[in-house]
């Protein structure tokens, strides 16, 4: 994918600027896994001469423009727009004409250290416990008695980049019964959150206990497995005493509001460039919402190494899928079950509004109304390719 190089740089820093300024020292001082090294290196090189690109020239005024390649790393805040729009187009075709509920399943902070040492295992347990809880409640005749339609999205961060492990669940207000009709949920209600919390906790701790018994989990910063049965029992007992949190928001008004929500949550990284305020020597300042005090907007200052340490916590294991679908939307049976659900709701098959193979030029024209081939200097000419730029191993800052 190609990215345009803008003419004037804003004084506001980007994540890439912080990595370029402090990444080498941070990586040397901290023990990182390969995927964390890879993510930081990709962000550092994104849209620079290090990745190569093209030189384009206006056929009217002769102005030349360098266009460098994007890194396309999923943790880069500048490389998710096209992926998000493609994903949204696919999801738009799957939305049902019913209200949707937003639920959040959160792990206690006592599990943070264990998740740092075993991210793939803990994240998989979180997905399994949350999805199995929702599917089980959906199939229960007391609540719905059918297959729900749910999408779950993993988030590992809070507003200050601290570790906050949770999944967002977007669930249709109803279920597809085994006999065919769509069973609608009660108005403004899906499942009781206290009961969801208890079942969610039980399922997660059952999986965690089994993993501990196999001796496959380690604490962050340690190579020793948690093999002491007394330590395992103590940890599980402490977690069992806590009141686990499942939060449910009021249902969305309709599909349009659902898509607006999806766009905010699905392809976000731990922090966007828009939240960064300044980078001065070794101090990074960024905006956050203080939910403990009415979601007030505040500014936090961290030293650059601490900022990068927090960011690196949220780099996902290689190949880990942070967006998953269940019930009617599960990949194995999605096409057939969605067709049955639409028939039950008397709605036609949707028409996709985004072509499968779309050029970058057409994409930016459709999404942002931006013609990236138009010369920004004279506003009349078209930028034509005049040279291909090979990657440079050590580009200037």
Report whether 327 contacts 170 (CB < 8 A). Answer: no
Domain ranges of the chain: 2-74+359-389, 94-270+313-345
Q: Which tokens hold the place of 393?
A: 């191993």
In Å, what is the CA distance from 381 to each residue of 55, 57, 311? Answer: 15, 9, 42
Distance CA 223, CA 206 (A): 24
Q: pLDDT-based confidence at 286, cuts 50/70/90?
A: very high
Q: What is the average pLDDT score of the chain?
A: 88
Report whether 168 contacts 153 (CB < 8 A). Answer: yes
Query: How do residues 139-172 score in pLDDT, each as one tens digit?
Result: 999 999 999 999 999 999 999 999 999 999 999 9
Report whether 325 contacts 170 (CB < 8 A). Answer: no
Report whether 154 contacts 322 (CB < 8 A). Answer: yes
Q: pLDDT-based confidence at 128, cuts 50/70/90?
A: very high
Report whether 184 contacts 344 (CB < 8 A). Answer: no
Query: How do residues 7-40 score in pLDDT, each as one tens digit?
Result: 334 578 999 999 999 999 999 999 999 999 999 9
Distance CA 182, CA 329 (A): 15
Report whether 217 contacts 211 (CB < 8 A). Answer: yes
More confident residue, 66 or 372: 66
Q: Which tokens hold the place of 59?
A: 């056929």
In Å, what is the CA distance from 176 to each residue of 63, 92, 93, 181, 329? Answer: 59, 19, 18, 6, 11
Select 94-270+313-345's CATH number: 1.10.260, 3.40.1310, 3.40.50, 3.90.1690: 3.40.1310
**What's the angle, vertex CA 356, arms to CA 353 and CA 362, rounded to 5?**
75
Report whether 99 contacts 149 (CB < 8 A). Answer: no
Query: How do residues 110-126 score in pLDDT, each as one tens digit?
Result: 999 999 999 999 999 99
Report whether 269 contacts 277 (CB < 8 A). Answer: no
Evaluate if residue 355 carries a pLDDT over 60. Answer: no
Helical (H) or strand (E) element with 354? none
Report whether 209 contacts 201 (CB < 8 A). Answer: no
């Amino acid at each position: 994918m190609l990215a345009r190089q803008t003419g004037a740089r804003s004084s506001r820093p980007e994540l890439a600027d912080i990595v370029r300024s402090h990444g080498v020292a941070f990586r040397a001082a901290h023990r990182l896994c390969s995927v964390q090294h890879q993510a930081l290196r990709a962000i550092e090189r994104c849209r620079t001469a290090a990745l190569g690109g093209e030189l384009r020239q206006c056929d009217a005024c002769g102005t030349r423009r360098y266009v460098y390649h994007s890194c396309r790393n999923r943790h880069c805040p500048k490389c998710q727009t096209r992926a998000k729009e493609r994903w949204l187009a696919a999801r738009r075709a799957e939305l049902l004409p019913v209200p949707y509920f937003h639920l959040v399943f959160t792990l206690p902070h006592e599990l943070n250290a264990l998740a740092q040492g075993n991210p793939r295992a803990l994240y998989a347990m979180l997905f399994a416990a949350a999805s199995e809880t929702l599917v089980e409640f959906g199939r229960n005749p007391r609540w719905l008695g059918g297959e729900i339609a749910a999408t779950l999205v993993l988030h590992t961060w809070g507003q200050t980049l601290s570790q906050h492990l949770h999944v967002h669940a977007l669930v249709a207000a109803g279920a597809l019964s085994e006999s065919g009709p769509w069973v609608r949920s009660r108005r403004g209600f899906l499942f009781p959150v206290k009961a969801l919390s208890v079942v969610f906790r039980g399922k997660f701790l059952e999986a965690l206990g089994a993993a501990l018994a196999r001796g496959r989990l380690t604490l962050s910063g340690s190579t020793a497995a948690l093999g002491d049965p007394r330590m395992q029992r103590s940890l599980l007992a402490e977690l069992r005493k806590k009141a686990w949190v499942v939060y449910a928001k009021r249902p969305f008004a309709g599909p349009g509001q659902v898509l607006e929500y999806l766009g905010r949550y699905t392809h976000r990284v731990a922090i966007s460039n828009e939240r960064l305020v300044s980078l001065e020597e070794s101090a990074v300042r960024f905006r956050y919402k203080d939910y403990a005090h009415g979601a007030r907007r505040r500014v936090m200052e961290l030293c650059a190494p601490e900022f990068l340490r927090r960011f690196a916590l949220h780099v996902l294991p290689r190949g880990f899928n942070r967006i998953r679908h269940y019930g009617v939307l599960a990949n194995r049976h999605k096409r057939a079950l969605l067709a049955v659900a639409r028939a039950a709701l008397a709605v036609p098959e949707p028409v996709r509004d985004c072509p499968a193979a779309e050029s970058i030029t057409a994409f930016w024209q459709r999404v942002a109304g931006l013609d990236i081939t138009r010369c920004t200097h004279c506003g009349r000419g078209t930028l034509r390719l005049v040279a291909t730029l090979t990657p440079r191993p050590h580009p200037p800052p």
